[in-house]
Amino acid sequence: MGGWIMLNLVTHYQQWLAQKIPADVLSPLRSDAMEAFAATGFPTHKTENWRYLRLTGLREQAFEVMPPSYLDEAVLAPLLLADCYHIVCLNGFLMPKYSQLPHGVTLNNLRSQLTDPAIQALIHQSDLSSSLVALNTALFQEGLVIDVKDKLDKPIQCLFLTDDLGAHCTSQQRHVLRLNVDAAAIIIAEHISLTEQVFFTNSVWHIELAERANGTYYQLLTDNAKAIHIDHCLLNQQARSVYHAYGFLNGGALVRTDLQQAFLGEHASCTVKALTLASGQQQVDQHVLVRHCVPQCESKQCFKGLSTNQARLILNAKVIVDQQAQKTAAQQQLQHLLLSPKAEIYSKPELEIYANDVKCAHGATIGQLSDAALFYLKSRGIDDARAVLINAFMQELLDLLKWPDLKARISSLFSVDA
């Protein structure tokens, strides 16, 4: 039965490519990508990097093309952060009316940039051995190309909204973010559901930092409890560039994030920090691969995760130090809390080192709240001792949110009943 369903799903997406994707310069690559997807289908528990996930919701429904829609300004207004530039997308489609950017930043729809050799080169980097990346490569039409040429005075908030018209549909998005030499930008990418129905987002980001560029990227995934969200990011850094990635994941039935970073120039640094709360029967799977290809670069990873009810939280964080990457500094810190007897956490830090002059360390903990700490607080009249300890565990990363209204909104989503 499972094979029959998968065969029909593959046929469904093959027909989508043949009938709904117009021919373009990427048509040969799209055909190769669909062939790669058809050969494997969606991942199963036998797929090593996906073996802890139950993909029933993804494997048993043929999602349709997500349609454009109308955005109610009254709905949008409370979601826009003050003192920010804005990019707004609804059901995967750019809404130019609500997107305002300064001089020094250009914004284009990806469809209009496909003849650009640089854009084509990025898309051809797609790893077609990953079935979800292959599916995106075959079917994407919409996407953003953001080019930053200066140091921006305010962050750019990218709002990705899905409404009721997007129910039982999929958005296959492909985005490009490029920071030129000496440019600096803060990007706040926030995914919000305006519907309670199931939908499937499958996005791929290409992020390129030129020499001495400075980028900070906030990823806020707060989709509804039925949503399926797959996010793949390819990050390349040139010499003396600085990148900070901060993730806050709380929402969706199935969430998978995959960051693949590479140092391509010396004296660059990359910091990745994430806070995740998995609850209900939610599944959250985070994969990070940082590759030190050149000498004298620094990477730091800090992950904090909480799993409650019957949720499943997975983290695989890996650092590879190539033989020529001497004077590398790499740190990993993975901390997780189990808050319920039936909750699950799978945590795997990895260091793969081929150089001999490096400073690398990692540590991982999975535990429960300390009975001694709970007793101590309760004995001093603190009735909500459990909530106090949980909030203290999360606070370090919540403090990375520098905007009061955004911090209040995200903090409320990370509240855990005592």
The whole-angstrom separation of Cα 11 and Cα 54 is 22
Maximum C-alpha span of the chain: 70
pLDDT in tens, 131-184: 999 999 999 989 999 999 999 999 999 999 999 988 889 999 999 999 999 999
Mean pLDDT of the region 345-350: 95
The whole-angstrom separation of Cα 168 and Cα 197 is 7
Percentage above 70 pLDDT, the chain: 98
Percentage above 90 pLDDT, the chain: 79
Q: How many CB atoms lie within 10 A of CB 258?
A: 21
Contact between 189 and 215 under an 8 Å Cβ cutoff? The reply is: no
Q: pTM of this prediction?
A: 0.94
Tell me what pLDDT residue 207 has. Answer: 98
Tell me what pLDDT residue 48 has. Answer: 86
pLDDT band, residue 233 (cuts 50/70/90): very high
CB proximity list for 413: less than 8 A, separation 6 or greater: 222, 250, 251, 277
Q: What residues are paired with 333 via a beta bridge?
A: 302, 363
What is the 8-class DSSP label of residue 89? E
Is the model's pLDDT at 79 over the cut of 50?
Answer: yes
Q: Buried b / exposed e across 210-240, counting CB within 10 Å, b at 16+? A: bebbbbbbbbbbbbbebbbbbbbbbbbbbbb
The whole-angstrom separation of Cα 239 and Cα 377 is 49
What residue type is 126 in one-letter code? Answer: S
Is the model's pLDDT at 400 over the cut of 80?
Answer: yes
The two three-digit tokens of residue 17, written as one number: 């490519």
What is the 8-class DSSP label of residue 239? T
The whole-angstrom separation of Cα 106 and Cα 96 is 12
What are the two backbone dihedrals, phi and then psi, of residue 76, each rounded to the nearest 5 degrees? -70, -40
Is the model's pLDDT at 187 over the cut of 60?
Answer: yes
Is the model's pLDDT at 325 over the cut of 90?
Answer: yes
Q: What average pLDDT is seen over the chain?
A: 93
Tell me what pLDDT residue 5 has. Answer: 52
Q: Is the dihedral of CA 108, 114, 116, 118 positive or negative?
A: positive
The two three-digit tokens of residue 380, written as one number: 């001093």
Tell me what pLDDT residue 223 has. Answer: 94
Mean pLDDT of the region 47-62: 86
For the chain, first and last CA: distance in Å?
Answer: 43
Is the model's pLDDT at 90 over the cut of 90?
Answer: yes
pLDDT band, residue 7 (cuts 50/70/90): low
Mean pLDDT of the region 1-15: 71
Between CA 109 and CA 117, with CA 119 as vertex, the angle to 5 degrees is 125
